[in-house]
Amino acid sequence: MSRNELPFRPDVARLAGYVPGEQPRESGWVKLNTNENPYPPSPGVVAALKQAAEGRLNLYPDPLGVEFCRVAGEALGVDPEWILPGNGSDEILTILMRTFVDAGQRIAYPYPSYVLYETLAEIQGAVVDRIPLTDDWSWPVDDARQRLQGCRLLLVPNPNSPSGNRFPDEDLKAIVPDGGVLVLDEAYGDFVDVPHRGELLHAAECQRRMVLTRTLSKSYSLAGLRLGYGVAHPDLVAGMRKVKDSYNCDTLSLAAATAALGDADWMIENTRKIRATRQRLVDGLVDRGFDVVPSQANFVWATHPDGEHDRRFELLKQQRVLVRFMVFAAEEPRRDGLRITVGTDDQIDRLFEALDGIGS
Amino acid sequence: MSRNELPFRPDVARLAGYVPGEQPRESGWVKLNTNENPYPPSPGVVAALKQAAEGRLNLYPDPLGVEFCRVAGEALGVDPEWILPGNGSDEILTILMRTFVDAGQRIAYPYPSYVLYETLAEIQGAVVDRIPLTDDWSWPVDDARQRLQGCRLLLVPNPNSPSGNRFPDEDLKAIVPDGGVLVLDEAYGDFVDVPHRGELLHAAECQRRMVLTRTLSKSYSLAGLRLGYGVAHPDLVAGMRKVKDSYNCDTLSLAAATAALGDADWMIENTRKIRATRQRLVDGLVDRGFDVVPSQANFVWATHPDGEHDRRFELLKQQRVLVRFMVFAAEEPRRDGLRITVGTDDQIDRLFEALDGIGS
């Protein structure tokens, strides 16, 4: 190899890389582009962080996060060894790829949904099978089942992003891959009208074949903290644990996350407010001529019959209202639209003003 | 695949997994087993953490850690784009494997040294070539050069662990692999008598062929925080950035790490104390009949002519003095011994008492 050549793996050299939503550093933006929670975390979290900051940061964290696992397990009615804490649920997804998927093997995910899965698969050298969702964003269970044979991971956001709809348990049970693992990415799971209590984890079809991923970024208002977790049969967790870095979660995040789960009422009250604002957002968008998918998440997917989503995105941005313009072009028909996070009522009013200012 | 079979990758299924040093949760231990710094971090770090705890944790962190990169770059005389922050330098090592090494390709590392490299390589499906160090822990440059051709990563802790010796720059320049990258793992780089100022980064032999890894865990007393970083030519950093998770460092760690690097005097004073105690530790061990390798790190490698290291480890542990008993059995001759972290003077006195209690 010549000294001028860079010794990257070919998979990495050709990778475009995942582009997260913009994070403007200055204030003054109405930020409705990355599904953050507009409300602050529980005061208990802030107190736990201050206490941990005074503590023994010169020592390594608990490598297994035992106390966090206990609290997280209780919330779902599973033993602590069902829980794998990670540096955001993104890290859990990375660990899943590295634990279950060899180069050349196949993963699948519904399309359109969270395209990060594709980036992670490409890094791993895996083959990606996009399962097209129907026009109303539902899962074509009978068509898909055949295609899922032999896939190592099937990754399904539930509720889905960018659409916000939730897939029924019966559909999910029907698509557990024979030779792989169904990953239900529940980043938005706390925003649904009737949250589950972990029933699917114990369904016969899913035993040792399903991993839930969860995060404190959205419903617990802790995107800045990076704490997510996987929930799975301990036999699966044991393998994933071998792949994770020894100290993948730091002392502060573990303390804060434990405090956050310990104050579920705070989270429930915030998600209640967000669900109420979600309805206002939907109504206001429909009034302004948009089509909106019924959402069980903290965002909505809005399209306009005139198709001018990119133009609206830019005009909103000029008014310092940031939403997410998304294009899914990998399948026919190409879909694009605006994914809009449910902020506070005031933020949504600012969005409406801005839309009215550009003649919707 | 039968439903009873677990769908792990074969590389993962056969992996034993890396076992980090014990982390007893209760207090009362003299903990000299995982090379933690016995002194607390700078008061500026605690202040930065408290301020960040009151800040907007509901928002995602800066995905690139721009402010941290600026400060870290300044310390080494490189531009910010030479810096890649990570969730501990362990994560940087993981990113290196995933960026540069395909399944079946070869990595190399000196043996005995940091066996985590081997675990990370096995997860990646890579082949590991151990380059045996000589009896005095030096690098057999002429013998090794041939073996390093075609290796994708050569990982070298400098100072080395468990021995604490430092390899000369001239040796390091001579072993940069033609078709790969030399990784200098400088976890203990701030404990050397004369720290470098990044000269090797600019040496012709190393251009776009070397990555330094550093951590705030040891010299900056922040093992609980998980903040390490890579330093490399921006062309290498660009590829590694594609592999990392978008938000791999959280808001609190970035703020604390930036504050820590901003108070280098605090770190320098602590490392000065540790170097002084290191000399006391060496002298006391030699007085008690041990052989000790001259160390440039915050630990020493001690062996006893009678070879009874395991027994001493257990007897010390019974007295709540925890050191690290290590066995390197992969090459002939098998080496074992005790790796002892340099604690405070009081902790070292406790160690000496305990050793005297067991008749050394």
Per-residue pLDDT of A262-314, as tens digits, reads 999 999 999 999 999 999 999 999 999 999 999 999 999 999 999 999 999 99
Q: How many CB atoms neighbour CB A14 within 10 A?
A: 10
Q: What is the pLDDT of residue A145?
A: 85
Q: Is B224 near chain A, with CB under 8 Å?
A: yes
Q: What is the pLDDT of residue B1?
A: 63
CATH 3.90.1150.10 in chain B, residue ranges: 10-40+265-357
CATH 3.90.1150.10 in chain A, residue ranges: 10-41+265-357
Q: Is B156 near chain A, with CB under 8 Å?
A: no
Task: Report d(CA B200, CA B345) in Å as an integer.
Answer: 34
Best residue of B58, B152, B220 to probe chain A, by most A CBs closer than 10 Å:
B58
Q: Is A150 near chain B, with CB under 8 Å?
A: no
Cβ-defined contact of A247 to B90 (cutoff 8 Å): yes
- Residues 298-337, chain B: which have Cβ within 8 Å of A? none
- Residues 189-218, chain A: which have Cβ within 8 Å of B? 207-209, 217
Task: Report d(CA B269, CA B39) in Å as an integer.
Answer: 10
Q: Is A73 near chain B, with CB under 8 Å?
A: no
The two beta strands, A153-157 and A181-185, are parallel
Q: What is the pLDDT of residue B360?
A: 73
Span B43-263 CATH architecture: 3-Layer(aba) Sandwich (3.40)
Q: CB-CB: which of B25, B180, B245 is closest to A91?
A: B245
Q: What is the pLDDT of residue A332?
A: 77
Q: CB-CB: which of A60, A94, A226 is closest to B36?
A: A60
- The residue of chain A with its CA nearest to that of B247 is A226
* Residue pair B299/B284 in contact by the 8 Å Cβ criterion: no
* Average pLDDT of the residues in A55-62: 95
B110: three-class secondary structure by DSSP: strand
* Residue pair B135/B337 in contact by the 8 Å Cβ criterion: no
Best residue of A45, A178, A250, A274 to probe chain B, by most B CBs closer than 10 Å:
A250
Cβ-defined contact of A245 to B56 (cutoff 8 Å): no
- The residue of chain B with its CA nearest to that of A151 is B7
Chain B residues lying within 8 Å of A257, measured CB to CB: none
Task: Report d(CA A48, CA A251) in Å as an integer.
Answer: 11
Q: CB-CB: which of A178, A226, A250 is closest to B225?
A: A250
pLDDT band at A23 (very low <50, low <70, confident <90, very high): confident
Crossing angle, helix B89-100 and helix B116-123, to 10 degrees? 40
Under CATH, domain B10-40+265-357 is a member of which superfamily? Aspartate Aminotransferase, domain 1 (3.90.1150.10)
Nearest Cα residue to B51 out of A217, A347, A224 = A224
Q: Is B86 near chain A, with CB under 8 Å?
A: no
Task: Report d(CA A274, CA A272) in Å as an integer.
Answer: 5
- Residues 280-299, chain B: which have Cβ within 8 Å of A? none
- Residues 43-62, chain A: which have Cβ within 8 Å of B? 45-46, 49-50, 52-62
Q: Is B276 near chain A, with CB under 8 Å?
A: no
Q: What is the pLDDT of residue A271?
A: 98
Query: What mean pLDDT value characterizes chain A?
Result: 95
Q: What is the DSSP letter of B245?
A: -
Chain B residues lying within 8 Å of A37, measured CB to CB: 58
Q: What is the pLDDT of residue A1?
A: 64
B127: three-class secondary structure by DSSP: strand
CA Rg, chain B, in Å? 21
| Alpha helices, H only, chain A | 10-13, 43-53, 66-76, 89-100, 116-123, 141-148, 169-174, 199-202, 234-243, 251-262, 264-287, 309-318, 345-357
Q: Is B122 near chain A, with CB under 8 Å?
A: no
B96 half-sphere exposure, CB direction, 13 A CA radius: 31
ipTM of the complex: 0.96
- Who's near B19: CB < 8 A, 6+ residues apart? none
Distance of CA A141 to the CA centre of its chain: 22
Tens-digit pLDDT string for chain B (360 aa): 666 789 999 999 999 877 877 888 788 899 999 999 999 999 999 999 999 999 999 999 999 999 999 999 999 999 999 999 999 999 999 999 999 999 999 999 999 999 999 999 999 999 999 999 999 999 888 888 888 888 999 999 999 999 999 999 999 999 999 889 999 999 999 999 999 888 999 999 998 999 999 999 999 999 999 999 999 999 999 999 999 999 999 999 999 999 999 999 999 999 999 999 999 999 999 999 999 999 999 999 999 999 999 999 999 999 999 999 999 987 777 899 999 999 999 999 999 999 999 987
* Average pLDDT of the residues in A216-233: 98
- The residue of chain A with its CA nearest to that of B32 is A59
Distance of CA A193 to the CA centre of its chain: 18
Nearest Cα residue to A225 out of B41, B254, B64, B222 = B254
Chain A residues lying within 8 Å of B53, measured CB to CB: 46, 49-50, 53
Type of residue numbered A272: R
Q: Is A38 near chain B, with CB under 8 Å?
A: yes
pTM: 0.96
Q: Is B39 near chain A, with CB under 8 Å?
A: yes
CATH 3.40.640.10 in chain B, residue ranges: 43-263
Counting residues of chain A whose pLDDT is more than 70, the rounded percentage is: 99
- Who's near B265: CB < 8 A, 6+ residues apart? none
* Average pLDDT of the residues in A212-218: 98
In this structure, of A56-70, A140-154, A209-223, the range with the lowest mean pLDDT score is A140-154
Task: Tell me which of A65 and B1 has the higher pLDDT.
Answer: A65
- The residue of chain A with its CA nearest to that of B208 is A6
Q: Is A12 near chain B, with CB under 8 Å?
A: yes
B241: three-class secondary structure by DSSP: helix
Question: Which CATH code, of 3.40.1160.10, 3.90.1150.10, 3.10.150.10, 3.40.630.30, is assigned to A10-41+265-357?
Answer: 3.90.1150.10
Residue B30 β-bridge partners: B321
Nearest Cα residue to B124 out of B148, B149, B147, B107 = B107
Classify the phi-psi angles of A230: left when phi > 0, otherwise alpha if psi is within -120 to 50, otherwise beta.
beta
Assigned token pair, B55: 């800040």
Q: CB-CB: which of A94, A224, A243 is closest to B250?
A: A224
